[in-house]
Structure 1
């Protein structure tokens, strides 16, 4: 009976660890989003995380005849990426992100975590004014 309890307990721990990994660490999707950086802040009570919002061009609405802005809310873990975004408020940005199935408090309040800033452009001028992503 003891042997059965040890095997059952071990299998249960492995299954729960697998579910936890799938929920919080499995990368569900990756992609690139572009738009105007609306805001970018560092906030939190216990865990201070970087949060931002990009407003994308165009409109989408869940109901016919209505208008709703297309916003992309995201979190940032990397300090270097956060530094670039802090200096890009109001500009057009292209961001590479990873989507997770669940959020963790130390990773931010969004399932979308930005991993890289591809380009930063000043919207007032033409597309030739792109700033290198490492500035």
Structure 2
């Protein structure tokens, strides 16, 4: 009986480790998005996570919500500095998220200031 319980516990631990490794290391998609950075916040009671929003439409009807992992300190700093500006973010989308990573499946890995297409049109 003790041997069966030991095998069960080891199997359960290995399955959980494989699940976490899959969710963390295997992205569903990768890409970039541009828009006006309208929100960056560090929120949560038990797990503090970094969350943000980018407005991708003129009226703000299309919002891209994203999370940033705590280990990406330079990305968090740049997001705080660029709030209110037009930015281009590079992100990975995961199959799912965990409470201590963030609220969304989209995780920003890089951010750069960009030129807004709405305010940079030259008139002839």
- Report the TM-score range of the alignment, normalised by the length of the smaller protein: 0.7 to 0.9
Cα deviation, 1:23-49, whole Å, max 9, x if unaligned, reads: 454211100011111111111112211
Distance in 1 between residues matched to 2:100 and 2:56, nearest whole Å: 27
For the aligned residue pairs, the C-alpha RMSD in angstroms reads 2.9
Alpha-carbon distance, 1:105 to partner = 2.0
Gaps of 5+ in 1: 60-67, 128-135
Gaps of 5+ in 2: none
Aligned 8 A contact 2:51 2:66 in 1:
yes
Partner of 2:61: 69
User: Is residue 88 of structure 1 aligned with residue 82 of structure 2?
Assistant: yes
Distance in 1 between residues matched to 2:117 and 2:85, nearest whole Å: 6
The structure richer in strand per residue is 1
Aligned 8 A contact 1:81 1:115 in 2:
yes
TM-score by length of 2: 0.74
Number of equivalenced pairs: 119
